Amino acid sequence: MSDWWRYPALVFPLDAMWRAYENARKAPGQMMIFYIQAASMLDRVFDKDRGIVASLDCKQNLTRKGEPLPCERPNRAWREPILETLSAPPQAARKTRKPPSHQQGGETMAQTDPEDGFDQIMVQSWNSVAQQLRTLHNELSGDRARRRERAERAVQNERYEQTRRQQQSIRLEQWEMDNRERLDKGFDSTLNATVLADGDGWRKMRDSSLLQGWMVADQLEGNDPDYRRQIIEAKARLKDEWSKRHPETHIDAAADQLTNHVNITYTDQSPALQATLNAFNTAGVPVDLQRVEDAQAFQAAHGDDATFFVDSRLTGQWTVCFVKLE
């Protein structure tokens, strides 16, 4: 409609949308409401089958997609005819006016009384806006409820995991307390037979064995007061031998790296492999995981039932873990 300004039924809704946009763009928080209102209003105004333009006696102007819409520039006095058309009729005319009839050429409300037509459009538009806002409110409420449920489940899961870890820690500490004396005696015997043995034979130990001896001494330190002198002597020997072999590193750092890293190679995923990974993860031990593509060669080297191998780097050799295949 290039001459939209000639039709009162179009002037007022377009003017209302323009004013609403000007107000909304100054308050960005209102733009969403404006878009909802404008979408409904534009459909009710310009729909070629049921909009206001469908009820007007005017020439249709069709444009291709992307072409600018045609528009005739209104003259300076274009508002006066609109106001005269919409001005209040005399009292007598109001009393004698008859309601529109469906038999009178199919005239619409907007044609017989533009003011009533505009009011009708506004009521319908606001009803549509209210319905869309109710739908939006229900969707947002549902989203909030779902997020709240997910957050509550996450909290419950975290509490369960914390409780489980605490229980495992308590069981481990209890087991250590129950077996501390036996463990200490075993560690004492290990140091006495290796690092603290007479002669220099212990100096022929591999690097991994030196690190194991250091970790055994660390384990005993603070837990076996009666063995304190031997622990100090053992650590001094180990530190001296390590510094001769590796002057660029300290035995403390090397032992930490040894105990806090494992390598795992596997052929297929299995519950046993997952349980092993979970155990290392709980203990805070980093794991390098590598899949072996040639399962036959892997099993030929390590056994028909082997599915994964763990290299703890503590013993200097691969530790084989088997899972029986049904």
Would you tell me the crossing angle of helices 31-46 and 8-25 to the nearest 10 degrees? 170
- Is the per-residue pLDDT at 80 higher than 50? yes
Residue corresponding to tokens 């052929």:
267
Per-residue pLDDT, 86: 59
Handedness of CA 221, 225, 229, 234 (dihedral sign): negative
- Is the per-residue pLDDT at 151 higher than 50? yes
- Cα gap 128→36, rounded to integer Å: 9
Per-residue pLDDT, 295: 84
Per-residue pLDDT, 122: 62
Percent of the chain, pLDDT > 70? 78
Other C-beta atoms lying within 10 Å of the C-beta of residue 194: 19
Which residues lie closer than 8 Å to 322 by C-beta, 6 or more apart? 303, 305, 306, 307
User: How far is CA 285 from each of CA 116, 192, 315, rounded to the nearest angstrom?
Assistant: 78, 30, 16
Per-residue pLDDT, 111: 47
Residue 110 — very low, low, confident or very high, per pLDDT cuts 50/70/90? Answer: very low
Kindly report the average pLDDT of the chain as a whole number.
Answer: 76
Per-residue pLDDT, 298: 84
**If you average pLDDT over residues 298-303, what whole number do you get?**
80
